[in-house]
Chains A and B, each alone.
Chain A
Amino acid sequence: MLEYAWLILALPLISFVVTGVLGRYAGKHVGWITVGSIAGSFVIALVVLLQVLSAGAVGGEYRQVVPGITWLERPGERDFEFNLLIDNLSAWMLVLVSLLSTLIALYSIGYMRDEEGKPRYFAEISLFVAGMLGTVSADNFLQLLIFWEIMGLCSYLLIGFWYHKPEAASAAKKAFLVTRIGDVLFLIGVVAIFVVFGTVEFEGIREGIAAKFGTSLDLRTMTIIPLLLFGGAIGKSAQFPLHVWLPDAMEGPTPVSALIHAATMVKAGVYLVARSFIFLVPVDPGTGSVIDAAVPWNAILFIAIIGGFTAFFAATMALASYDIKRVLAFSTISQLAYMFLGLGAGAWLLAENGGTGGFSAAMFHLTNHAFFKALLFLAAGSVIHAVHTNDMRGMGGLRKRMPVTAWTMLFGCLALAGIPPLSGFWSKDEILAVTFGVGEGNSIFYLLYVLGILTAFMTAFYAFRLWFMTFAGKFRGHQKGHVHESPRVMTVPLMILAGFAISSGLLLLLGVDGTWSNFVFYGEPHRANPFAAISLTVEVGLLALSIAVAFGGLLLAYAVYYRQTIPAERFTRSPIGARLHRLLLNRYYMDRAYDNLAAYGVSGVSRALDWFDRKVIDGIVNRTARGTVRLAAASDWFDRKAIDGAVNALSLSTIRSSFALRKRSTGRVQNYAAVVVLGLTAIILTVLVVRILFR
């Protein structure tokens, strides 16, 4: 009944083929093919979502596997199938991804208007969208991995879109190689799942855990598998320590940064961890209760700690960056880390008392962040389009010349900073509240909460540092006359996204009775209050604290970068401040450390391999060659001496004997006569002897 959902994937794929193969004949209108097909996907996804909603997804679980093709038949076991999974989570993700992709593709038409290679760009965007839609609708881990890798490929291709720029080419390579580390872990995880459970389907695994735990499955395996999957998420979502590729990925075109490196692909890691809740909070499908002994508490804690730490760590680097897109990139890392923190705390909460607040808060933040971060990137792209630089020191005072961009970006910054009532506030506060609430179970979460609050403060600060440096004050660059507002095809998506950034937080209102929580949480239906774990006074206190730090950051940025009552130089001139500033500008020297590690490590390994090659492999080859030569020499010798020798000897002896024999034919009649006589005599004698002997 949901077979038409396949069209959601098929339309971008068709667009990929059409724009890729025939795009050059479409001229400058090639982008509309892509926009049209992705918009078609969005409409279908919306229909699917409505159907899912009307089929009882609100306040309950909806789950439908849309049959596709059987990939590999395995008699007696579950076949490898290629199916779509439509449940609450994936239906929502499909709508979110296709909506954002449509808007960003539309924006690309304006942004890429004067670029060469538009068919290539739009073909790759189409393939990427197909990959992302496939990732969020896969019904097994293998299918998910395949689409995941398609996304990785498109990310590589699009970061390196301006491949003639060496920075872009090396950034693309870096992104591909760094995420590869995570992807390999993910692949190992999928193989491990297959080995342990004999299937890679989500449903089969859920049943498998309940059936096998305690016998062929122990807690250690239950801990390792989600951690391997999380390894993939760390790579794709640029979490510490694999975060280094995302800031460099900003070398790609800005719509690519918005689509892939803010709104969708980096969210795939969060989605993957959300799907691996089947491991983190294993539920017995029969009774519907959590299997307490099988909960991998350490894995949950690890995910939460990585999230909390990365949130703080990336936010500090955003404080010092001057590149408008890199600030947003660090911010993306930090906000993604919030989601992982939310998922970690949420898994703990769910395993402890069945509350789904953390899970739904993370998914909620994913939604909100997708809107406001796409908005911020597109607005930044609009600015870059106008001033032709990424450096915020060359901007300033753009508010008057680019009013639409300035105002929409202001809403994006407000949402990012967590100022109520914009979207970012609700989800971020919910994540922090859940983290604080879980602190009762494990006090590490209190520490993570503190990191989260500090991050919230820094987020507000750098968001408004960015806005004030770009739009307020005086213009610090050159060519002021060229700066102008972007065309409508770019500002309309900005306005739409600004609308979402303002309003998507109101989705929470749907969740007063737990329906939102129910909606994004696949699995057992429940009606738990997200804040059940926390008392009302504490909740109000947390709320007040969140609002206070957000406004505090905003005001500090206002004081430093707008009124300049506290000039930034005072900080950077002090010796400790200068050192800290340098440390942050150099991104804690981690990129350099990785480069050196790669340089020395790889060159060491390659040198060893070279030695091995030259000494061992070449040695074997050379020795084999030498042996062959020797064998050939021996064979040659044998040929010449023995075979030729035998032949020659035969002929020679024939010649010699003939030489000897021809002496006998002297030509003298008497000799012949003598021979005749002798022969006759011999015959006679022989006959006589035979007669006598055999008488």
Chain B
Amino acid sequence: MIPLEYEIILSAALFVIGLYGVLTRRNGVVVLMSIEILFNAPILNLVAFSAYTNNAAGQMFAFVAIALAAGEAAVGLALFLVLYQAHGTVDVSRLRLLRW
């Protein structure tokens, strides 16, 4: 049995790596991928605590979250596709329409 601490540390590492990717990558697709990594951290938490507490509800939530993440990735990719068609780039540092 893998100790819970390892799993939580792994989950935290995944979260931080994902966060780093979100905040630093300029390519929008990479940012989306980093979000996927970041997403996996709580999912892993859910699974880990589900195993630790012998409660299958956590694994159920994990599946739901994976399904939602897939949907979200699809929507995100579609947005970037449209952005690319409109602006010719997916560089998030150049897409500054949310400015004042």
Is there an interface contact between B100 and A669, defined as CB atoms closer than 8 Å? no
State the CA gap A346–B99 with chains docked (Å).
Answer: 121
What residues of chain B lie closer than 8 Å to A670, measured between beta carbons? 22-24, 31, 92-93
Main secondary structure of the interface of A (DSSP, over half): helix
How many chain A residues sit at the interface, stated as a range, is: 10 to 19
Whole-angstrom distance between the Cβ of A80 and the nearest chain B Cβ:
90
State the CA gap A667–B91 with chains docked (Å).
Answer: 13
Is A617 on the interface with B (CB-CB < 8 A)?
Answer: no
Is there an interface contact between A669 and B98, defined as CB atoms closer than 8 Å? yes
Query: Among residues 16 to 51 in chain B, which have CB atoms less than 8 Å away from a CB atom of chain A?
Result: 19, 22-24, 31
Main secondary structure of the interface of B (DSSP, over half): loop
Q: Would you give the 0/1 interface string for B3-22, flagging 1 where the beta carbon is closer than 8 Å to chain A?
A: 00000000000000001001
Is there an interface contact between B99 and A667, defined as CB atoms closer than 8 Å? yes
**What are the 7 A-B residue pairs with the smallest beta carbon separation, nearest first?**
A667-B99, A667-B96, A667-B98, A662-B100, A665-B100, A670-B23, A669-B92
Whole-angstrom distance between the Cβ of A661 and the nearest chain B Cβ:
9
Is there an interface contact between B98 and A673, defined as CB atoms closer than 8 Å? no
Is B95 on the interface with A (CB-CB < 8 A)?
Answer: yes
State the CA gap A360–B55 with chains docked (Å).
Answer: 151
Q: Would you give the 0/1 interface string for B80-100, flagging 1 where the beta carbon is closer than 8 Å to chain A?
A: 000000000000110111111
Please name the residue on chain A nearest to B94 by beta carbon.
Answer: A668
Given contacts A662-B100, A665-B100, A666-B99, contact A673 B23 (CB under 8 A): yes
Q: Which of B19, B31, B95 contacts A677 (CB 8 A)?
A: B19
Is A536 on the interface with B (CB-CB < 8 A)?
Answer: no
How many chain B residues sit at the interface, stated as a range, is: 10 to 19
State the CA gap A666–B24 with chains docked (Å).
Answer: 15
Query: Among residues 653 to 695 in chain A, which have CB atoms less than 8 Å away from a CB atom of chain B?
Result: 662, 665-670, 672-674, 677
- A residues whose Cβ falls under 8 Å from a Cβ of B: 662, 665-670, 672-674, 677
Whole-angstrom distance between the Cβ of A201 and the nearest chain B Cβ:
99
What residues of chain B lie closer than 8 Å to A662, measured between beta carbons? 100
Is there an interface contact between A674 and B23, defined as CB atoms closer than 8 Å? yes
State the CA gap A673–B21 with chains docked (Å).
Answer: 12
What residues of chain B lie closer than 8 Å to A668, measured between beta carbons? 92-93, 96, 98
Sample (17) of A-B pairs whose CB atoms are under 8 Å apart: A665-B98, A665-B99, A666-B96, A667-B96, A667-B97, A667-B98, A668-B92, A668-B96, A668-B98, A669-B95, A670-B24, A670-B31, A670-B93, A672-B98, A674-B23, A677-B19, A677-B23
State the CA gap A454–B96 with chains docked (Å).
Answer: 132
State the CA gap A670–B31 with chains docked (Å).
Answer: 9
Please name the residue on chain B nearest to A665 by beta carbon.
Answer: B100
Query: Among residues 51 to 78 in chain B, which have CB atoms less than 8 Å away from a CB atom of chain A?
Result: none
Whole-angstrom distance between the Cβ of A541 and the nearest chain B Cβ:
134
State the CA gap A425–B97 with chains docked (Å).
Answer: 133
State the CA gap A669–B23 with chains docked (Å).
Answer: 9
What residues of chain A lie closer than 8 Å to B100, measured between beta carbons? 662, 665, 667
Whole-angstrom distance between the Cβ of A421 and the nearest chain B Cβ:
130
Please name the residue on chain B nearest to A662 by beta carbon.
Answer: B100
Whole-angstrom distance between the Cβ of B53 and the nearest chain A Cβ:
23
State the CA gap A674–B23 with chains docked (Å).
Answer: 7
